[in-house]
Amino acid sequence: MSSIVQYRLAGNRDIAAVQHLLQLCALPADDLGKSPVVLFAAEQDGEILACAGIEPYPPFGLLRSVAVHPDARGRGIGHRITQMAIDYARNQQIRTLFLLTTTAEHYFAGQGFQPIDRQHVPASIAATEEFRSICPSTAVVMKKDI
């Protein structure tokens, strides 16, 4: 395997590989291609190792679909792809990001996100399919001002 990991905007040709990665990581993938999510990918030797997405609703956004292939964890790839998505959001006039997680609260806390009560989520985020039906009501909601 090459040691070079390329970070880039994911295109339509990447949807199937991103969906496969999300499913491998037990994350929802069914609405990709239907929602307005902008996806980013980390690729090495033609394989998608990580992904992250931003669903924009300026001045808010939903960070979602953050996944790293189990064999690629511990190399900083997740941090870098998450930062790429956050930088994109900031450039799109998004000032506050929200996310839902059932397994990665500690990881996202390390990225500066803080848990919040569901009732403090703006209507544009609460209306997303991810928030309304895809993620369970037991998922932790987190927020970060960017």
- 2-45: pLDDT as tens digits: 579 999 999 989 999 999 999 999 998 878 877 789 999 999 99
DSSP 10-66: --GGGHHHHHHHHHHTT---TTTTTS-PEEEEEEETTEEEEEEEEEEETTEEEEEEE
- 40-70: pLDDT as tens digits: 999 999 999 999 999 999 999 999 999 999 9
Instruction: Say if 132 falls within a structural domain.
Output: yes
Instruction: Say if 1 falls within a structural domain.
Output: no
Instruction: Say if 48 falls within a structural domain.
Output: yes
Number of domains in the chain: 1
> At 67, is the secondary structure helix, strand, or coil?
strand
- Between CA 141 and CA 34 the distance in angstroms is 22
- Between CA 33 and CA 36 the distance in angstroms is 8
Range of the domain at 21: 6-145
| CATH code, domain carrying 139 | 3.40.630.30
Residue 42 is which amino acid? Answer: A
Instruction: Say if 54 falls within a structural domain.
Output: yes
